[in-house]
């Protein structure tokens, strides 16, 4: 792995750009890592929306956690049940990035479902429905070739949930943003 710590004269390899500040105030340095990627250190609400600096937010999911598949399912379900689909998506994203190549489409599809629920809960019917359908398609396709190795998940039930919620949100039957906790899927089936 190459280093991007800086140049020989000590200047950063990726200078941190400044954000535009309101007239009469000093620019604020952007929160970036050593590669220049945004850290998104602003506090977030339960649906992952950024809050003003200094506001009390919901603790973020740690990134890069390697879990056994069953642990990923259990942790994501806990977060979904708490009405935190954005945070559940981060758990699925960790599984997708750290798991075996042949499982990446499963975890990516589940992450898309969680983001679709996030958008529906934020009131974005179009984005929510689109991501719910895309995730459902990815999960369904992966399940066809998985030979029943679903880590205890009821994937046909999850796919049916996603498609039904997408249709409801798209038709406006939800009456606005959905309640993320009340509409969370049961990944392992049952109630």
| pLDDT tens-place string over residues 89-115 | 999 999 999 999 999 999 999 999 999
**What pLDDT sits at residue 16?**
40
Q: Is the pLDDT of residue 183 over 50?
A: yes
In sequence order, what are the beta bridge partners of 120?
none
Sequence-distant (6+) residues with CB within 8 A of 186 are 77, 154, 157, 158, 161
List the one residue out of 50, 86, 70, 68 whose CA is nearest residue 180: 86
Q: What is the pTM of this model?
A: 0.76
Q: How far is CA 118 from the centre of its chain?
A: 8
């Amino acid at each position: 792995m190459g280093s991007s710590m800086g140049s020989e004269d000590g200047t950063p390899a990726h200078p941190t750009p400044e954000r535009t500040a309101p007239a009469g105030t000093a620019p604020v340095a952007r929160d970036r890592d050593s590669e220049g990627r945004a850290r998104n250190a602003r506090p977030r609400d339960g649906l992952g929306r950024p809050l003003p600096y200094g506001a009390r937010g919901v603790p973020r999911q740690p990134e890069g956690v390697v879990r056994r598949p069953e642990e990923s399912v259990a942790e994501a379900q806990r977060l979904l049940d708490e009405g935190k689909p954005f945070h559940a998506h981060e758990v699925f994203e960790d599984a997708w990035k750290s798991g075996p190549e042949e499982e990446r489409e499963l975890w990516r599809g589940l992450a898309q479902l969680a983001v679709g629920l996030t958008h529906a809960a934020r009131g974005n019917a179009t984005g929510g429905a689109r991501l719910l359908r895309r995730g459902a398609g990815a999960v369904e396709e992966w399940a066809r070739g998985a030979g029943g190795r679903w880590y205890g998940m009821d994937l046909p039930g999850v796919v049916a949930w996603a498609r039904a919620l997408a249709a409801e949100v798209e038709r406006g039957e939800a009456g606005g943003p959905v309640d993320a906790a009340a509409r969370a899927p049961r990944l392992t089936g049952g109630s």
